[in-house]
Chains A and B, each alone.
Chain A
Amino acid sequence: MTFDTALRQAAVLPLAAPLALVALLGVPLLLRFRPPEAVVLRLTHLVVMVAGLGAVAGTTLAVRAEHPSVTIGVADLLRVPGGGFELSLTLLYDRLSIPFLFLTVLLVGVIGAFAGRYLHREPGFHRFFLLYALFLLGMATAALAATIETLFVGWELVGLSSTLLVGFFQERRRPVDSTQRIWCVYRTSDAAFLLAVLVFHHVAPHEALHAALGDPTWPDAALRLADGPAILVGGLVLIAVMGKSALLPFSGWLPRAMEGPTPSSAVFYGALSVHLGVYLLLRMQPSLAGSVPFTVATVSIGLLTAAYGATASRTQADIKGALAYASVSQVGLITAEIGLGLHWLALVHICGHAVLRSLQLLRAPSLLHDYHRLGNAVSMRSRHHDHHGVTPGSSMSIGLYRIAFDRDLPGAIMDRIVIAPIGRGLRSIDRLEGRLLGGDAAETPSDSPIAAVPVPDPVGTRSEEKHDVA
């Protein structure tokens, strides 16, 4: 049994190694010491390799086990006597988490090698790799989570590191702006997630939650929620998924996220974090599948998003925007597949889509080169000497085009139907408070989203702030 014990210990490595990397990269930065690039890269590669080995160990354990799955308790953090509540760090290797973990390690590893050269001599090199380590830690934690608390920690880490990577070029206005918006969407989704957990606690025994999340028999469900609770819990989970995976009406954040360095766009929000939401859905769906309204809602939101993303992608003139919308449409489709209970199809779709999209985003700066080459190739047959050999596609009605073209539309709708009423509500409470307490109510700020724009340098003549490279 020593072999199994060793494997059990090794299976924790996908979490332990990135955690060590965060410490190794973060602590020197806190001490204002910047290790040489080569050292950072060596460490990063080593950590990814070790995490990969740990994943292999966990997989071996799972394969040798009865169900093809294995649960590993890492730490019991808190246990309320009487069985009311417990907080523990528990990992689950099963048929769902293993592919997702390998996908994560593969993509993050490749991007690590890529970014090492891409960000060479970049002033933010160390910051990038620190966020990279955080991201890997978050993804691995979320993928392997067997308890809701573990999943939430991973979910948060992914959100934090992704948004900070969007704002990587913090000296310009737009990245910071986008970061703020994405952060808000993520927080909304986090809140929905937490509420879902809370509701779950109320409608089902605590063990049920574990069963729903860490069910070793996935995709069979040991527990199916009754119709009523399933609508409530499912609805909240769905909101969380919609935010994290850029489903309608949150789709606006993904194209906005294309502000960071290309490799982080490619893997982080382009391929991995955007799939984290649907991963949660995939994990929970068997317990919720009993509810017809939940299924209908999931499928219709998925299909709507897919249609919207595909249409919007056709109108985008910039490559990263087009790819972002293409991702939106595929994630929508995956959501619909999950809603229909096509678990295996969805899993293959997630992995294939993530890899393909990463490659496409990484190659995005080659677009001119590629179009030139393809245009040449096509012309050899048709002798059609159009410059790029690319004829414009079909047309679109102006009404549809306006919806597809207007990138800010989902965001604006959210502003109008959610943010503005909340703002108004808060302000009236503020006024009420002012009246009751007799003091002057604070000057009410406007509810316009542009009012949140940071104050520019009034005498700066530049439309784009400088990226200080000196």
Chain B
Amino acid sequence: MITAVARGATFDVLSSDKVESIRRAVHDAARLLPGQGPLEAFVHHNTLHAIEELPFHEAVIEGAALFGCRPYMPEAWYHDHRRLGRIDVQEIRAALVRELGDDASRPVAGFGTVLDLRAAMLSDEIRLGSDAEILWSLRNEDEGHVGDAMLWDVCWRAVSRVPAPTVERRLRHRHRAAVATSCGVDPDDVVNDFLIPFLASFLDQGMARVSLPERDRGLFAAFVHLHRGRRPSAAAFATLPMEIERIERIGLSPELLIEEGLAAFGVPAAERDRYVADTLLSLRGWAGMLECAEQGHGPFDWTPPEGTLVEYLAIRLLLDRIAAVHLRTVAGFEGVLVGLADGGEVRSSSIVRAFTVWQVARRLGLSARRLGAASDADLTALVREVEAFPSTARCRVLHEAYEACFQQGILAAVGAHSPARTAASTHDGRRASLQIVCCIDEREESFRRHIEELAPDAETLGFAGFFGVAMNYRGAGEAHYRALCPVTVQPKHEVVEEPLFAFENASRLQAEFVGRAGAAALRMHHGSRSLVGGAMSGLLGLLATVPLVCRVLMPRTAARIAGSIGRVLQPPLTTLHLEREGDEPGPSGLVAGFTPDEMAGIVEQVLTLMGLRRGFARIVIMVGHGSSSMNNPHEAAHDCGACSGGRGGPNARAFAAMANNPRVRARLASRGLDIPADTIFVGAYHNTSDEDVVYYDLDRIPRSHRDEFVRARGIVDEARRRNAHERCRRFDSAPARATDRAALWHVEARAEDLSQVRPEYGHATNAICLVGRRSWSRGLFLDRRAFLASYDPAVDDDDRSVLAGLLSAVIPVCAGISLEYFFSFVDPAGYGCGTKLPHNICGLLGVMDGARSDLRTGLPWQMVEIHEPVRLLAIVECDPDSLTRVVHGNPIIRRIVAGEWLRMATIDPTTGRTTLWRGGGFEAVDPVEIDLPRVPESRAWYAGRRGHLTPAIVDPNAASAWTGGAR
């Protein structure tokens, strides 16, 4: 209350302009914070989303500077891949030529052209290191090479004549660098250690039984309340109660405190925004979560009041100041606070510079004599030219070459495969025996491929896994609604799963029982940590030996037993409350259910976007997907990206129910979309972790279709066994040669294993997105790397409006996934959240490393370790001109494509020729003749190999080279 009164008074002190400018600075800086909300729902997004308006290569440099991360892989990594044959030397040169343009042939003071110089610098790793390392290696490795020693002298002298280029000069380190250098203690560590438990308790969503006092009044009020009149145990903040007392006495508002803090460190006016951003970024995981909670982005139970981030900045600056003063008096750092803000310049040492020039000179074959004879001006030119191509620039070229090699391989494979594809589209051929619609997710690529291998007369299609049904969904036995649709879509309808009316009473009893059991379990959960409850459970604790031993030693069996108990308690048969019955909104505040017109609209739109307006099979199975795993805080990151990190089963079920609805069929027929009366849709759910597939509403399958359904289910069962087998090749801990059945057991056990940190590899290795007819890729082994979206140019109009609609959902989702994996792989500890092993769930929000750390965002190393850092290659079946129009017609797609956050390519619907987006438009790609390997089935290609695989044609008629293995 004191604060409230005081705050009113402070506005005389700080003009409203100033207040506004501080708020704006915080608001602007907030967009740099990670946008990842609570882990319970994981939505993949571009890690560098905040600077997505920049082109890719500029953004990675900027991001590296902002967040202190790596822009690319280390130079040595690229050269390792060059030696492995994954980067072609020709391609490095080509990338250089592309980047240099006309500059390539410019001579460098008689030492060759710029191109030669840079090519030499890229021919192998340029070694760098500390001065001592370099001098040591010079002395030891090159002993006896008198010429080299002379060369070193020349280089050294040449370098000393040229002023060192400034690597950076910014405020980035705030006062941190100066203090840390002066006294050896990082002031941020002191502040963070103090602040983290407070932020954790403030944001806690229900972990602690006692929540932070006064937190409903906001961060600042709670902080003041907690520290009023009592010295905290951390010695650095002994003066905090005095500061609190002063704040309350004068009535300092957070804004004024910020003003004071900035002044104390002598931040110049022009640098204020920068300083504010850097201060927020110094604990960016927690600050980002504060921002998410304040904005309500994500499933929060408790959200802080408005202005939280401003209050956080005020507290942070206050603590920064107290810690700096403390370090000055205690740890021997000298100097005044004002002026500390300047982070100073960073320059490379002369030894590092000379060593670089020395290596280049040796590669160019320049002798000491030759260089010694050159004029000073020439030597200076050489040094300047070498230093104009620093490590980051070299990595950029190497990265371009690495990606180009991969992209060419894929484009050539798709091109070479095209003659093999069936000329006749299945739509005008005979009717397919079965159609299976999966999510575009690249994990379904192998699943679809195996189905097609097993049933050559079946057809598979891909559509974003929410199947057009954007809804707020609550399952039977679930506590809350969640949106099942892409993040970009705001659901307008809600759908509830209910027990069948006939079972309602039984279900109520069950619900009662489950509820009681759940409440008891929850009491036990909390109670075991309390004093008396803990003593009781401690005494009975020996009973826990059974689950402990079983869960760890035989996870699969233990899970089966637990599962069968759980099944008894689940509601028996359920149905979706899908049809709208009135206009009154449901419990979540949205319209309950869809009208037949809305359903018909959804069904028509989805079928049209997939290009499926004709040629329906008798059974069409819609397969949504998700993933379940144990002991995995990042479980939701394996779920369907098109369902905002939810599980897409209900969407498939809802779509099937809509498409089966006779009133919907009638409306569709009147719009020229004739679904044959004997076509039925079945919803299903594919668990990508344990390869389980469940079907919905089987009781509604007519007798006439049962045999066919049983056959289809048999094919799917075989496909999931094979899929499990193919996935196992990537798991080091799976046996190299297992039977299909053993492989399925293996993945089932993985999903239930408490000790398994890699239940599945998720989207790792994703690299391609194909938008077009399946015939382009059918029979092509793409190694679970390709998002496959079905699209038929034949059903599109001249404006490509169908394609535009499709891409508006596909491109952002796929690019988000691809870029999140990219950055988490490039810098696992900076952009990713490091190794899972010490992760500690905090506040039900996210994970920390161990007992106390920043909230870690991004993906854990165990999820991305097999990823290959390439930008997504999106190949669209369309002519370049139309696609250019589509790209320019959608600002989001334009930003992603023009910024080259993904590489866009086209494949011509008739000729099969490919083009690639480069620097503002599509350029034709020279067709490369390659002879793709032919194998009779997928297994023959991957068997016994764990690493990267190039595409191959899977053709049942090919001679079998494969002999081993068992079905």
Contacts and interface: CB of A to CB of B under 8 A. Distances in A.
Interface of A: 106, 110, 113-122, 168-169, 172-175, 178, 255-263, 306-307, 309-310, 313-323, 325-326, 329-330, 333, 345, 348-349, 351-360, 362-382, 385-390, 392-396, 398, 401-402, 404-409, 411-413, 415, 446, 448-451, 453, 455-456, 458-470
A330 B538 contact: yes
23 contacts: A172-B849, A310-B529, A314-B210, A318-B200, A319-B207, A333-B535, A352-B540, A355-B541, A359-B548, A362-B631, A364-B841, A379-B480, A380-B518, A381-B515, A381-B516, A385-B479, A392-B209, A446-B331, A450-B190, A453-B185, A463-B854, A469-B835, A470-B74
A128 B173 CA distance: 36
Interface string B850-889: 1111100000010001000000000000000000000000
B541 A354 contact: yes
A277 B301 CA distance: 41
Contacts of B383: none
Given A329-B530, A355-B541, A455-B180, 9 more contacts: A110-B548, A117-B733, A174-B193, A178-B851, A322-B207, A356-B541, A376-B518, A387-B480, A464-B829
A372 to B, nearest CB: 7
A409 B197 CA distance: 13
Contacts of B409: none
A428 to B, nearest CB: 19
Interface of B: 39-40, 68-69, 74, 77, 172-173, 177, 180-181, 184-186, 188-190, 192-193, 197, 200-201, 203-213, 225-226, 230, 232-236, 282-283, 299-301, 330-332, 346, 477-480, 511-512, 514-519, 521-522, 525-526, 528-531, 534-535, 537-542, 544-545, 547-549, 551-553, 587, 630-633, 635, 732-733, 753-758, 828-830, 834-844, 848-854, 861, 865
A305 to B, nearest CB: 11
Contacts of A110: 548-549, 552-553
Contacts of A460: 68
Contacts of A470: 74, 77
Contact of B233 (A261, A348, A412, A461): A412
A127 to B, nearest CB: 13
Nearest to A374: B522
A355 B531 contact: no
Contact of B850 (A119, A174, A326): A174
A357 B538 CA distance: 8
Given A113-B755, A261-B837, A316-B208, A173 B189 contact: yes
A469 B758 CA distance: 16
B531 A306 contact: yes
A352 B528 CA distance: 12
B480 A467 contact: no
B837 A121 contact: no
Contacts of A456: 180, 184-186, 189
A362 B230 CA distance: 37
A317 B851 contact: no
Q: Which of A317, A366, A464 has the most CB of B within 10 A?
A: A317
B526 A393 contact: yes
A120 B756 CA distance: 9
A169 to B, nearest CB: 6
B541 A117 contact: no
B530 A368 contact: no
Contacts of A352: 537-542, 544
Contacts of A168: 838
B209 A467 contact: no
Nearest to A352: B541
A257 B208 CA distance: 19
A435 to B, nearest CB: 23
B210 A394 contact: yes
Contact of A368 (B212, B234, B547, B635): B635
A351 B537 CA distance: 11
Contacts of B542: 348, 351-352, 355
Contact of A356 (B197, B538, B732, B733): B538
B851 A469 contact: no
Nearest to A123: B835
A325 B851 CA distance: 12
Contacts of A365: 631-633, 836, 839, 841
Contacts of B755: 113-118, 263, 362
B110 to A, nearest CB: 37
Given A258-B850, A393-B210, A401-B213, A376 B477 contact: yes
Contacts, number: 382
Contacts of B830: 462, 466
B841 A446 contact: no
A398 B225 contact: yes
Contacts of A314: 208-210, 529-530
B285 to A, nearest CB: 9
Given A110-B553, A262-B838, A378-B522, A315 B541 contact: no
A349 B538 contact: yes
Given A356-B544, A365-B632, A387-B479, A467 B835 contact: yes
B206 A371 contact: yes
B197 A407 contact: yes
Contacts of B517: 377
A78 to B, nearest CB: 40
A238 B204 CA distance: 37
Given A258-B840, A348-B539, A374-B522, A310 B207 contact: no
Contact of A349 (B346, B480, B539): B539
A409 B479 contact: no
A326 B180 CA distance: 37
B732 A321 contact: no
A314 B549 CA distance: 29
Contacts of A357: 541
B918 to A, nearest CB: 31
A329 B205 CA distance: 24
B733 A411 contact: no
B838 A379 contact: no
A390 to B, nearest CB: 4
Given A318-B843, A470-B74, A106 B206 contact: no
A390 B541 contact: no
B828 to A, nearest CB: 5
Given A320-B840, A463-B188, A467-B828, A362 B207 contact: no
B484 to A, nearest CB: 16
B210 A396 contact: yes
Contacts of B69: 462
B39 to A, nearest CB: 6
Contacts of B861: 467, 469
A415 B515 CA distance: 49
A256 B541 contact: no
A446 B329 CA distance: 10
Contacts of A463: 188-189, 192, 282-283, 854
Q: Which of A369, A450, A470 has the most CB of B within 10 A?
A: A450
A461 to B, nearest CB: 3
A411 B300 CA distance: 34
A74 to B, nearest CB: 30
Contacts of A385: 479-480, 587
A388 B844 contact: yes
Nearest to A256: B851
B301 A386 contact: yes
Q: Which of A320, A367, A459 has the most CB of B within 10 A?
A: A459
B528 A326 contact: yes
Contacts of B208: 314-317, 322
A132 B793 CA distance: 62
A360 B526 CA distance: 11
Contacts of A379: 478-480, 515
Nearest to A373: B518
B544 A377 contact: no
Given A259-B838, A398-B225, A406-B233, A355 B525 contact: no
Contacts of B232: 406
A303 to B, nearest CB: 10
